[in-house]
Amino acid sequence: MRRILWFRRDLRSEDNPILSLEGEVLPIFIFDTDILASLRCNDRRVTFIYSAIMNLKASLRELGLDLAIFYGKPKEVFGWLLSQSAFDTVCASGDYDEYARERDRGISHLLPFIDLHDTYIFRSDEVLKNDGTPYQVFTPYYNRAKALFHQEHLKEYHRNEALERIPFDYDVLHRIQGTSHTTAPIRLESIGFAPQVLSARQLRTPKEKLECFAAKIENYPLERDYMVLEATSGLSMDLRFGTLSIRALLRWIVAQQKEGKQTEPFFRQLIFRDFYAMLLYHFPYLSQKNFRYPFKGIPDQDAFNAFCTASTGVPIIDAGVRELLESGEMHNRVRMICASFFTKNLLLPWQWGEAFFAEHLNDYDAASNILSWQWSAGTGIDPQPYFRIFNPYTQTAKFDRECRYIKHHLPELAAVPAKLLHTEDAFQNCLLSNYPRPIVNHKSSSQRALDYFKSVLQQ
């Protein structure tokens, strides 16, 4: 049996079902030009992925294997590989978004495709209602998921010792365009990207992040919404790109639980991640279309530009966007505040905000991002009610009381007393020469949003 092992969202050699198979294997990774074409040359994610695949390549070599690296359209890469040699199957971990599913269907027409479950806790058809339809409300889904969760979801996969490496030129980058094949050095510059400096936190290994999180997990439900406490796991990029196995994380949670720590709130967030992936699998049109209500938003390019350049004049919003632009990260509570402001106070189409986050978030996951934006806009499955609008000033008072988060990302506000940043009227009375005036008033823009939503519902 000659297999192509296609690494995608599973960039690790530990606990990887793709390495539990048998036979002669050609492990590969493809820098997909269909995806890369939309990215900036300084996209941090590409640096993170490059680092991860080089670590994977080194670890595979220690196991007597290796990793062949390609640059091109996946279908053309597989067409070229099949023109060079015969293969029986291609094996890869499953992916749920619409592009990935269409891509994999195309490859399956060239070569039998074995889809291995790896990225999420549950398969897309595993947690369903009794009538076989998908859940559309999280709490019932969560209760069902807990009832179905069993030892199999903690399984650790070990490398099959019988795997044999297929001879290949593993030391160069293979560039495929149509049927044309050229080679280049294995470097980021060879695919048109500039290496980026990652933060110390981003450079930590999953093991180091887990060790750090072990001291915080008990306080996770109390502290995770506070921006400056860094109470979250920091594992979102590792889960997104598979440098950490979801099963390894679950086993770690069980170990923490055995030590008497409260782990349920964090486990619940992992189930939420599965819930969104399941929804996008069953309702792929959600990537662009509302599930409920015909809210389209009002395209306002000036307001959109102000949001995207951190110049709305609303401190918590601008601080969040500046964090995103400078680091590729944004605290989850701030994401919710920004999304509410974007879709409600500015009345911009949620698709615009989703695309902006997709461009800049290091941990961008299509299902989580799309469904979160639909939740904020009040248009999705199990949505936030359209009439619930976050007040960015009271959110600041509650979750950034000393305004340390705001002042870290907006040093131009360092001299402004925190209490002035907690109240819209007080802040708007400040005369600041180095910070823009707010482009909207929360109270009046909230009423405008409510009037808009009601008018749409009455049509």
Pairing, β 68-72 against β 173-177: parallel
Residue 52 CB neighbours (<10 A): 19
Buried b (16+ CB within 10 A) or exposed e, 190-226: bbebeebebeeebebebeebbeebeebbbebeeebbb
d(CA 63, CA 25): 13
- pLDDT score, position 189: 97
Q: Are 379 and 291 contacting, i.e. CB atoms less than 8 angstroms apart? A: yes
CA nearest neighbour of 353 among 313, 317, 391: 317
- pLDDT score, position 293: 87
Which residues of the chain are in CATH 1.10.579.10 domains? 301-458
d(CA 140, CA 137): 6
d(CA 166, CA 223): 50
Which residues of the chain are in CATH 3.40.50.620 domains? 2-119+169-184
pLDDT by residue for the chain (459 residues), tens only, comes to 899 999 999 999 999 999 999 999 999 999 999 999 999 999 999 999 999 999 999 999 999 999 999 999 999 999 999 999 999 999 999 887 888 999 999 999 999 999 999 999 999 999 999 999 999 999 999 999 999 999 999 999 999 998 999 999 999 999 999 999 999 999 999 999 999 988 888 889 999 999 999 999 999 999 999 999 989 999 999 999 999 999 999 999 999 999 999 999 999 999 999 999 999 999 999 999 999 888 899 999 999 999 999 999 999 999 999 999 999 999 999 999 999 999 999 999 999 999 999 999 999 999 999 999 999 999 988 777 888 999 999 999 999 999 999 999 999 999 999 999 999 998 888 878 899 999 999 999 999 999 999 998 887
Provide long-range contacts, Cβ within 8 A and 24+ apart, for 446-450: 446/344, 446/345, 446/389, 446/391, 448/347, 449/344, 449/345, 449/347, 449/389, 450/387, 450/389
- pLDDT score, position 302: 97
CA nearest neighbour of 223 among 123, 332, 143: 332
User: In 43-131, where do the E strands start and end?
Assistant: 68-72, 89-93, 113-116
The CATH homologous superfamily for domain 301-458 is: DNA Cyclobutane Dipyrimidine Photolyase, subunit A, domain 3 (1.10.579.10)
Q: Are 111 and 2 contacting, i.e. CB atoms less than 8 angstroms apart? A: no
d(CA 413, CA 196): 28
Query: pLDDT of 28-38, one tens digit each?
Result: 999 999 999 99
DSSP string, 140-207: HHHHHHHHH--GGGGPPP---TT-EEPP---SSEEEEETTEEEEE-SSGGGGT----PPPHHHHS-HH
Evaluate whether the domain defined by 2-119+169-184 bears CATH number 3.90.190.20: no
- pLDDT score, position 187: 97
d(CA 367, CA 381): 12
Start-to-end CA span in the chain (Å)? 61
d(CA 156, CA 159): 10
Query: pLDDT of 108-144, one tens digit each?
Result: 999 999 999 999 999 999 999 999 999 999 999 999 9
CA nearest neighbour of 237 among 363, 121, 148, 342: 363
